[in-house]
Structure 1
Amino acid sequence: MNKANLMEQIIQQTQMRWAEVLEATFIHIQLVFFSMLMAVILGVLLGILITRVPSLVPLVLGGTGIMQTIPSLAVLGFLIPVFGIGVKTGIAALFLYSLLPIVRNTYAGIKDVDSATIEAAKGMGMTSKQILFKVELPLSVPIMMAGVRTAAVINVGNATLAAFIGAGGLGDFIFLGITRGIDGLIFLGAIPAAMLAIILEFVFNKLERWSTPEGLK
């Protein structure tokens, strides 16, 4: 198929299915949002935990790292007996895939805080809890945000696979296009997903810059 025919097919499919594309995009955003929300909460907590309990570092980072090595479709398959077919399984799989960069960057960000800064805080009489919330976490935010950004952008792409277990989203068009041999349908799902990833990359880049202290920029 030449470029002219492909573009014509994309335009035709868009005109026919624009309402479905909007609905699928909304579902796609929901899949990414809820999985990321859970991953940020647990990932940050685990990252903080392993800075306090170093013996857990190999277990936590190793466990979340193993998740990244398992093919996405296999993870979806493993979760179907637990959550069934549908949105819950898609969110659970995306959540598991999001943990590693968030946990790793939270841990790295806190560990990279200058020891002299920590000692100064202790000298001022701060408790461990105060040091965590008033010194370590604020200074770690840029690195933590980089982990969240990485997880979010990857999740947008992985969320297209949720269509294989009936979770919906933009992957429905890709799957339908592959099964019917219609390239226009494939692009109808791929283009909005790519645009979402680019928008998230831009937003998180801005947030990283905004959250970085002036002296560290």
Structure 2
Amino acid sequence: MSSSPTPPVPPAAKAQAKALSVKEQRAAARALKLEEYRKREARARRNRMIGIWSAVAGAVVVVALVVSAVVLTPQRASYTAGSDGVKISGVETFKNGAGHVEGTVDYPQNPPAGGEHNPMWLNCGVYEKPVPNENAVHSLEHGAVWVTYDPSLSEDQLKELKLKLPGSYIVLSPKEDLPSQVVLSAWNAQLQVDSVDDERIGEFLEEYWKSQFVPEPGALCSGALDADGKVS
């Protein structure tokens, strides 16, 4: 018995099958593009999150560094201007007069703590070399405190001493032949100490820095003479 031949596929059916195949291909292509888009978006989200967390971490590090710098950086001491008449152990007081003179003056104290002086005051600040007595005394007349130290003072000791000093109306300079390691001189008042750790340094500055009991309180401590060796 012979088999009957396969009937031919109608043209409409062929067209429908072809159309379905094209639709499937397009759907597959869309699905592939969608999957690729989702992958790109996922990568972008990861990168954004990494960027955000990196920025946050960086900001935290910056804040930590700033806080550390503020906390760990030694801060300069501060004092209240004007004298209250507080008695400080070891402070000597004098009755030096005032007046402007030219030339060298023979002072009764070492370093000088008042007396006749040069018409030009010494600009306040830090000096690495000895400064002229006559100009420094004029600064005392304006309410400054002159802090002299023995040149043998170590670098660490000098740093510690600087931190105890205010930022204005102060003269810091080395001086040979001092009676002690450090001498603080104000107008007609003086304190000798043998250590930069001596707590009386702060007490003296609190009492005599920018004192109102000077011949010219509040007068300038700048705009005049920068002696040799001024660093700040």
User: Would you call these one fold, judging by a TM-score over 0.5?
Assistant: no
Q: Which has the higher helix share?
A: 1
More RCO (CA 8 Å, sep 6+): 1
- TM interval, shorter chain, is under 0.3
Of the two, which has the highest radius of gyration? 2
